[in-house]
Amino acid sequence: MSENLETTELDRESKKKSDQSRLKARLRDLEFFTEVIPDGVVIINNLLIVEASNESAQSLLGFPEDSIGSSLEDLIEVPRLSNYVRKTAQQEPLEFTSPIQKDSTLEARLFNVDKDTKVIVVRDITTLNRLLTMRQSFVANVSHELRTPLTVVKGYLETMVDESAPDELRLSLISKLSAPVSRMESLVQDLLLLTQLESNPVPPEMDEINMNDVIRNACNEVQGLLAESDKISIVNDCDKPIKGIATELNSLCTNLISNAVRYSPDGADIEISWASLSDSKARLSVKDTGIGIAKEHIDRITERFYRVDMKDSRARGGTGLGLAIVKHVLRRHNSELEVKSRVNEGSLFYCDFEL
């Protein structure tokens, strides 16, 4: 009987030991997990005393390593955060400016674990906020761009159905409808192309493209924009093909060449060149002697809807998306756009490709 009792005691002891080592291993795992996650995790008690925090919390909130035992309020001076964590009711996440980096925005979420313990999870939402703002301003820009031609079409249509308006005027408006409708069509086409460039993955196998053919096609496409006195010359100094996507390279050339035409006064002198730089590299360049671009605008002209002169660009039939398309096409072909320009002297746009 006493032997039996001793065995049970021993069993209990060994079970306790194995439970303890399992618990320790679990704690180590937990510690490891909280260290690897990018979100900051802070555990506090009811008096806002820090009981634990991970490395991300230290770097996001500027906590010292030995923050355990200190009051949250002493560690960070963000009264809104202190008020937020004091409340016990379920709350929306709190957005606040980072206490250590004034241009960063953090978001805190509070979880009441039990009546004595709370967990604060903090993450950096600066990029997320920036993307949200970019999306909002993009939608606002598109709506604004569409509103102008739509208002024109609406005005014409109102006059056309107005029986009191002279017949001659009503008839003359039919032909005027095509300009704003074409404008909306170009805008929608450019938007669709831009979306495709952003969302479609680059095909694993690119086609062999002869850039001289692409340049010739693009020149044919811009014929309608040319004044009689405009001159386009093509220098062809490379016969090797490149790996690429024909439709995208066609958009690239059409956009660069049509810009050269549109931003030059009548009598434009445009030079397009496709030339070898070495055995493995060739350069596409489009040079004009047009209005040029002031230095302070050059870094921004590939942004969507950025124009040096909004009215002027619209009058020249621009959508404000051409160079954004060019930038994306080049990125998908491992290249980038370079621009050299002088006001009233002209511009040079060029990009290099692997052969």
- Whole-angstrom Cα distance, residue 55 to residue 298? 41
Residue with tokens 């997990």: 33
Report the site for ligand ADP in 268-297 (rule: CB under 6 A): 288, 290-293
Asked whether the beta carbons of 330 and 336 are under 8 A apart, the reply is yes
- Whole-angstrom Cα distance, residue 90 to residue 294? 54
149 near ligand ADP, judged by CB under 6 A? no
Report the site for ligand ADP in 191-250 (rule: CB under 6 A): none
180 near ligand ADP, judged by CB under 6 A? no
- Whole-angstrom Cα distance, residue 316 to residue 260? 11
Query: Which residue of 194, 301, 329, 351 would you call a contact of ligand ADP, by CB under 6 A?
Result: 301
- Whole-angstrom Cα distance, residue 120 to residue 27? 19
323 near ligand ADP, judged by CB under 6 A? yes
Asked whether the beta carbons of 42 and 60 are under 8 A apart, the reply is no
Which backbone phi and psi does 276 adopt, to 5 degrees? -70, 140
- Whole-angstrom Cα distance, residue 309 to residue 314? 9
- The one-letter amino acid at 190: D
Residue with tokens 């086409």: 189
For ligand ADP, the closer CB: 180 or 318: 318
Closest approach of ligand ADP to the CB of residue 325, in Å: 8
Of the candidate spans 50-58, 59-67, 238-246, 254-262, the one that interacts with ligand ADP by CB under 6 A turns out to be: 254-262
Could you tell me which of 138, 141, 126, 121 has the C-alpha nearest to residue 54? 121
For ligand ADP, the closer CB: 6 or 309: 309
Instruction: Give 195: exposed, middle or buried? Use CB within 10 Å, 0-12, 13-18, 19+.
Output: exposed
Closest approach of ligand ADP to the CB of residue 79, in Å: 46
Query: Which residue of 34, 54, 313, 335 would you call a contact of ligand ADP, by CB under 6 A?
Result: 313
For ligand ADP, the closer CB: 56 or 254: 254
For ligand ADP, the closer CB: 44 or 252: 252
Of the candidate spans 89-97, 218-226, 256-264, 328-336, the one that interacts with ligand ADP by CB under 6 A turns out to be: 256-264
Report the DSSP pairing between strands 269-278 and 231-237. parallel
SS3 354: strand
254 near ligand ADP, judged by CB under 6 A? no
For ligand ADP, the closer CB: 165 or 192: 192
User: Quick count: other Cβ atoms within 10 Å of Cβ 91?
Assistant: 12
124 near ligand ADP, judged by CB under 6 A? no
For ligand ADP, the closer CB: 153 or 321: 321
Of the candidate spans 44-52, 55-63, 164-172, 307-315, the one that interacts with ligand ADP by CB under 6 A turns out to be: 307-315
Positions in the binding site for ligand ADP (CB under 6 A): 255, 259-260, 263, 288, 290-293, 301, 306-308, 313, 318-324, 347
